[in-house]
Amino acid sequence: MSARTSTRRAPLLTVYAALVFAFVYLPIVVLILYSFNRDGVGGFPPRQFTLNWYRQLFADGPIWDSVLNSVIVAAGSVALALTLGLLAALALDRASFPGKALFRRLVLLPLILPGIITGLSLLMLAVFAGAQLSLLTVFLGHGTALISVATTELFAGLQKIDRSQEEASLDLGATPWQTFWRITLPNLKLSLIAAGLLIFTLSMDEIAVTFFLIGRDNTLPLEIWGRLRRGITPEINAISTLIFVFSVALIVIWYRVRTRGLGAEARELLERP
Amino acid sequence: MYSRAYKAFVSLPPLVWVGLFLLLPYALMFAHSFWAVREGVVVHDWNLQNFKTLYSNPVYFAVLLRTMRIAASVTLCSLLLGYPLAYYLSFHAGARKELLYQLVIVPLWVSYLVRGYAWKTILGSEGVLNGFLQYLHLTHEPVAFLLYSPFAVVLMLTHIYTPFVFLPIYASLEHIPRPLVEASQDLGAGSTQTFFRVILPLSIPGLLAGATFAFVLSLGDFLAPLLVGGASGTMIANVVQSLFGAAFDWPLGAAIAVCILIITISLLFLSERAEKRWSFK
Amino acid sequence: MSSAEANLTNETSPAPGALLEARGLAKHFGKIQVLKGISLNIASGEFLTLLGESGSGKTTLLRLVAGFEQPTAGEIWMGGERLDTLPPYKRQVNTVFQHYALFPHLSVRENVAYGLRVKKTAAREIGGRVDEALRLVKMQDFATARPTKLSGGQQQRVALARALVNRPQLLLLDEPLSALDANLRKQMQSELKALQREIGITFLFVTHDQEEAMALSDRIALLRDGNLEQVASPREIYSHPATAYTAQFIGQTNLLRGEIHRSIITCGNLRWPVEDGDGPAIFSLRPEAIRLCTDGKRQTHEVKFRGAVRQQIYSGASELLEVDCGGGQLLRVRLPASGPITGEHEFVFSLPDAIRVKE
């Protein structure tokens, strides 16, 4: 039964909420603003509009090398995390085995542990295995840490699948393997896309774990970090602005994908009086 | 419905991977904490010296305490900012709720580094904030404590974790059936009483989840101190990081990391227990 | 003037014995006009039911009285004072919600005590009143239980106790029985009716189930598309429906449409004398008013017609026949259960049973 309702007003709370919003967005707005400022990063007010810093950015070779590295690592992480995450989600949803509870906790641990712990422990593994630190170690680190994101998202997606669809498929003569490819996977399409987008974004931005696993080739965050050690330039503002715009675009797409997938259920949840 | 082969097929690869890339590394870190370093080399000499050092060395202890204080401040501030925001969105935002929600989660996923860097440029002696204050003639020289201080670390981390704290609280609030709020008012309770008697108790699981998240992640943060903390804002994770870097003492570093790990897991465990006690299904 | 008509006119002075008065209440949400001008009086101690389909505005009307919505026009008065300007927590009105809305984090006892605690009632008094309320709904043994562990019917009783313990002037019930299964529902209906008689509090009850409304109410207010269609006692509304809609919504009926010409109404193959002027007319004839004509004779106040039985639906105590009177005119006839009936028969009904209704 849906009774129509109205929302009540609360002026003080509205102002406070607006202030919190401002707090969350202000630094980013300042950052973007100053990427166009001729006189650099500090001082107030910003005096002269210029695109110089962006021009400088686009001519900056090492930055774009690191962007390419980041993209490669991110793409790899998506593939790795989604594959293992899907299997883990299926295992959690359908199989029971000794130590399952422990397994679930372990998989989700990197999500809530500080990055330094994950990074250091993987570093120790690398040393133990005698591996050279490189983009490969970074890739393995990201992939491992982000399995948790994939598992969470895909597990939720699996819960929403109508089990009787798979039963119908088996009833009609398809093998479990065929059922997986024809029924289960298509139903998970939206979850996979959503998880993939999220993992990609997180991998591109990852810094804490990467810090300890990086070799000679930098990812973008580490490249920026290195420059910060040497001094602040508005060029960093420029690349940060671009990162921000890119991330926002990806996250908006991610959100749209996710809520489209939920469909009527989500709409009801969002409209509930 | 699922054959044993199916179940084995889906369970084994992630199990093996997790064992190899999560369990084994933690085990290695754990093992390292009992070893020692002699003449620049790690020796597998099993002892408890590292833990004794952590306990007895006043410098390390002070840093640990400072870290706890910072983490607590960040958690408190994030809650003070995030809870009212979530409450507003859930109960007073009406038709704009979905749009505002998107606006809140966007910064959540935008690079930590970008946001930390933004604060660095704002808080510095020649930064935007000082420039702004001087422009308004509110101050005549740069305010020093803004940057390279625990204050700056708390500020930056609060900024990072407010959306983190917002999410589970918002989810909790959304789960409160609106008729409960109406019932409370129907029975004579105004907005304030309704909040403290009905809404707050039912939102505790979300609140605990968010607070734990913020505290645990702040506790182990090493980047914020490096960006904006300066010498007075060093946190325990920085100590660990330097022990794995220039100060080369992997066993000691591992010991501290293990301590952080234990504190973290204990807090998560306690929080989960408390959340269960406060969820009324 | 029937009581229905009296209540449909705008009154400027409070009617004697009226506890609640709604005057010209209107409400719209955005572009949708949900209530279009409702004026209604509720007498003290009466059991009034707001009946209607979904979208008729009955729940919105209830929520206006409760205070969860503000009217876009009109006023509500209770006990001689303006009600609609008060927030819900200041009104002497309590609500039993459709899905009970019990607080999951409080025990049954604490749920019932909530309204008293909020008003800072003395602890000693709370204990006594809570026990009394629980005994009234027969839930005294469940005082320490959690609402989530109770069945639907039990939760409903607790919700009732929680509202009644505050001794409100008016109790609002928002389809409280709709979530219960059929047998429990019937049982709760009679308990509710008995309870209301016993404590004498005015009840404003919302339902879409017309049988429920007939069983429980002192008066029924039928809402249609935001307007009051008719307000009358169950017997009155059943035997003298004002409109075709009312006749069809409450119980079953045959709607006979025809033309009056020189004091004779002609509906297909049916024809009988009326006192009204010429023009189109609609008459409502209840299926149970039609009988089989066994003796071939016709009294002056009776109407006879022939018809072929097309369908027969047996329902235990009675049969419902679908009778073809020729020219595509189908009438429904309810007879006491008498075995299978087929073929052509003569049927008869009394003139007063054909009630003229408006469109």
Which domains does chain A possess? Answer: 10-50 (no CATH), 61-271 (1.10.3720.10)
Tens digit of each residue's pLDDT (9 = 90 or more) over A6-61: 666 788 899 999 999 999 998 888 888 888 887 777 667 777 788 888 888 888 88
Q: What is the mean pLDDT of residues B83-100?
A: 91
Q: How far apart are CA A195 and CA B263, in angstroms?
A: 30
Q: Report the residue of C60, C65, C89 to disrupt the B interface, i.e. the one with the largest count of B CBs within 10 Å.
A: C89
- Count of beta carbons in the 10 Å neighbourhood of residue C227: 15
Residues of A in contact with B81 (CB under 8 A): 20, 23
Q: Which residues pair with C75 in a beta bridge?
A: C23
- Phi and psi, residue A130, nearest 5°: 70, 25
Q: Which residues pair with C23 in a beta bridge?
A: C75
Is A226 in CB contact (< 8 Å) with chain B? Answer: no
Q: How far apart are CA A81 and CA B17, in angstroms?
A: 11
Q: Among residues 81-140 of chain B, which lie with CB inside 8 Å of chain A?
A: 81-82, 84-85, 87-89, 91-94, 97-98, 102-107, 109-115, 117-122, 124, 126-128, 130-132, 134-135
pLDDT band at residue B38, thresholds of 50, 70 and 90? confident
**Quick check: B240 pLDDT over 80?**
yes
Q: What is the pLDDT of residue A266?
A: 52
**Quick check: B184 pLDDT over 70?**
yes
* Contact of B22 with A109, CB cutoff 8 Å: yes
Q: What is the pLDDT of residue A263?
A: 54
pLDDT band at residue B1, thresholds of 50, 70 and 90? low
- Within chain C, all domains assigned CATH 2.40.50.140 are found at 252-357
Residue type, A260: R
* Contact of B88 with A14, CB cutoff 8 Å: yes
Q: What is the mean pLDDT of residues A67-93?
A: 94
Q: Pairing between strand C81-82 and C73-78? A: antiparallel
- Within chain C, all domains assigned CATH 3.40.50.300 are found at 3-244
Yes or no, beta carbons of A125 and B2 under 8 Å apart: no
Q: Which residue has the higher pLDDT, C2 or B81?
A: B81
DSSP state of B24: H
* Contact of B195 with B268, CB cutoff 8 Å: no
Structure tokens of A16?
């406070």
Q: Among residues 137-196 of chain C, which lie with CB inside 8 Å of chain A?
A: 175, 178
Q: Which residues pair with C41 in a beta bridge?
A: C21
Query: C356, C332, C333: which is closest to C283 by C-alpha?
Result: C356
Q: In Å, how far from its chain's centre is CA C358?
A: 20
Residue type, C236: E
Domains of chain B with bracketed CATH = 51-277 (1.10.3720.10)
Residues of C in contact with A4 (CB under 8 A): 29, 32, 34, 60
Min distance C228 CA to chain B CA atoms (Å): 26
Is B262 in CB contact (< 8 Å) with chain A? Answer: no
* Contact of C42 with C11, CB cutoff 8 Å: no
pLDDT band at residue B128, thresholds of 50, 70 and 90? confident
Yes or no, beta carbons of B10 and A24 under 8 Å apart: no
Q: How many helices (H) and strands (E) does chain C have?
A: 9, 20
- Tell me which chains share at least 3 CB pairs under 8 Å with chain A: B, C
Yes or no, beta carbons of C105 and B202 under 8 Å apart: yes
Query: C336, C351, C357, C353: which is closest to C239 by C-alpha?
Result: C353
Residues of B in contact with C103 (CB under 8 A): 180, 183-184, 198
Can you list the alpha helix ranges (DSSP code H) found in chain B?
A: 4-18, 24-32, 49-56, 58-92, 97-109, 112-123, 128-135, 150-174, 178-186, 191-194, 200-219, 223-224, 236-243, 250-277
**Quick check: A1 pLDDT over 50?**
no
Q: What is the pLDDT of residue B41?
A: 73
- Phi and psi, residue A206, nearest 5°: -65, 135
**pLDDT < 50 stretches in chain C:** 1-14
Is C53 in CB contact (< 8 Å) with chain A? Answer: no
Give every CB contact of residue A123 below 8 A, 6+ residues apart in sequence: A133, A212, A213, B244
pLDDT band at residue B129, thresholds of 50, 70 and 90? confident
Yes or no, beta carbons of C59 and A5 under 8 Å apart: no
Going from the C-alpha of C347 to that of each of C254, C297, C298, the distances in angstroms are 14, 11, 10
DSSP labels, C301-347: TEEEEEEEEEEEEE-SSEEEEEEE-STT-EEEEEEE--S---EEEEE
Residue type, A19: L
Give percent above pLDDT 90 in chain B.
53
Q: What is the pLDDT of residue C223?
A: 96
DSSP labels, B72-130: HHHHHHHHHHHHHHHHHHHHH-GGGHHHHHHHHHHHHHS-HHHHHHHHHHHHSTTSHHH
Q: What is the pLDDT of residue A261?
A: 57
Q: Which residues pair with C221 in a beta bridge?
A: C50, C231
Yes or no, beta carbons of A28 and B85 under 8 Å apart: no
Q: Among residues 45-84 of chain A, which lie with CB inside 8 Å of chain B?
A: 45, 84
Give every CB contact of residue C243 below 8 A, 6+ residues apart in sequence: C229, C230, C357, C358, C359
Q: The domain C252-357 belongs to what CATH superfamily?
A: Nucleic acid-binding proteins (2.40.50.140)
Min distance A117 CA to chain B CA atoms (Å): 7
* C270-273: strand order across its sheet: C270-273, C264-267, C254-261, C279-285, C355-357
Is B6 in CB contact (< 8 Å) with chain A? Answer: yes
Q: How far apart are CA C205 and CA C194, in angstroms?
A: 15
For every residue of C107-169, which 3-state class applies, written as one string?
CHHHHHHHHHHHCCCCHHHHHHHHHHHHHHCCCHHHCCCCHHHCCHHHHHHHHHHHHHCCCCC
Going from the C-alpha of C8 to that of each of A51, B39, C17, C253, the distances in angstroms are 73, 100, 17, 24
Structure tokens of A186?
């298509």
Select the CATH number that applies to the domain covering C3-244 from these four: 2.40.50.110, 1.10.569.10, 3.20.20.70, 3.40.50.300: 3.40.50.300
A197-213 b/e with 16+ CB inside 10 Å = b? bbbbbbbbbbbbbbbbb
pLDDT band at residue A273, thresholds of 50, 70 and 90? very low
Q: How far apart are CA C50 and CA C176, in angstroms?
A: 13
